[in-house]
Amino acid sequence: MIPCLQLGFHISYTIPGCYQCTKEGCFPDTENFLAKNCYNAVNGYSLPTGLPTDFKQPGLSDYTERGSEWYTYLEQNNIVSWMKNVLYGYGFHHANSGTFSRSTWANQDPMFYAHHAYTFLLNDFGTQQLVEKGRATPPLYGLDKIIEERGVKECPGNNPTDVTVYRNVVRYKTGQEPGTNQPWDHILEMWTEERRDYEWIINDEFITSYDETIRYDESCREGCIDEALIIGNAFIGTNMTLEEKCQAFVANLQNSTKQSKKDACAMRLRDIPGFGAWLPDRFDLFGYACKKTCNFCKTTCGVPQE
């Protein structure tokens, strides 16, 4: 939910012109608010009826197709921002992240750089785990397979083999023309651990054995869990665990729809009777509510390294 309420607010509401932001805070832009139909203001902030098309405002790219990651992300931002304004009662009040925001003044905060370096390090750890456990290989780590399986591409210029607008981001290979636009698969390849021009130095006089004491610690908190998000409302008054709720819900859905577990898990919550038809596409069983039950992820804590 945090990305929806923070980053999502910036992408879907600040960039389209719904708000004007300063270091002191963000304020509705009265000139653009109605033109952009922010929070469905044109219709009195009510729940849109022509779903899901009504939630293309205030921010949705004309070049993205439903089913792509970018469409799903923007649509989610639009809907959840409306939910925050209307359902959760926040109205026009937004947390101000100050110099740690996505803004021209963000990098004035010294922690901006430390935080991003840490984020990139954790991303590297994650991709290394995929390789170590035999689940993916560099440089794309399965991104190409995901797009192929879903049958919907990202916006032009954002697919793994698309040529980007960037030049000289990484070293050119023999036979490539220096100064030409570089494709994503080449950039990602040159950013892999084997090809990059830098390395992470973690251990020092304070951290002497990061891998042994922290990174591969068997007491780590398991990240692959069921949260029963939204569907948990169907089990109010029970003592079932979140995982038990997911298992029961998926089983009941299979029985009522005569579908396989894989197909049932692929259903969006908005398409299941009893849930709001206005819910974002992102809210499904597979990658949102029941990740463990639906095999979206696998347990990692305490698993010996191969």
C-alpha closest to that of 296 among 234, 244, 227, 219 = 227
Mean pLDDT throughout 259-274?
93
Residues 91 and 7 occupy one common structural domain? yes
Q: What sign for the dihedral angle of Cα 123, 16, 78, 94?
A: positive
Residues 13 and 95 occupy one common structural domain? yes
Model pTM score: 0.75
At which of 133, 166, 200 does a domain end?
200
Segment 131-145, tens digit of pLDDT: 888 888 999 999 999
pLDDT at residue 232, as a whole number: 93
Task: Classify residue 46 as left (phi > 0), alpha (psi -120 to 50) or beta.
Answer: beta
Residues 67 and 114 occupy one common structural domain? no
Segment 10-42, tens digit of pLDDT: 555 566 678 877 767 778 888 888 888 888 888
Q: What sign for the dihedral angle of Cα 77, 82, 87, 88?
A: positive
Segment 99-148, tens digit of pLDDT: 666 666 666 777 778 888 888 888 898 888 888 888 889 999 999 998 99
Position of tokens 């209307």? 86
At which of 76, 100, 124 does a domain end?
100
Residue 56 to residue 14: CA distance in whole angstroms: 15
Does 176 have pLDDT greater than 80? yes
Contacts within 8 Å (CB) and 24+ apart, 169-172: 171/197
- Any domain includes 229: yes
Task: Classify residue 37 as left (phi > 0), alpha (psi -120 to 50) or beta.
Answer: left
Residues 185 and 239 occupy one common structural domain? no
- Any domain includes 105: no
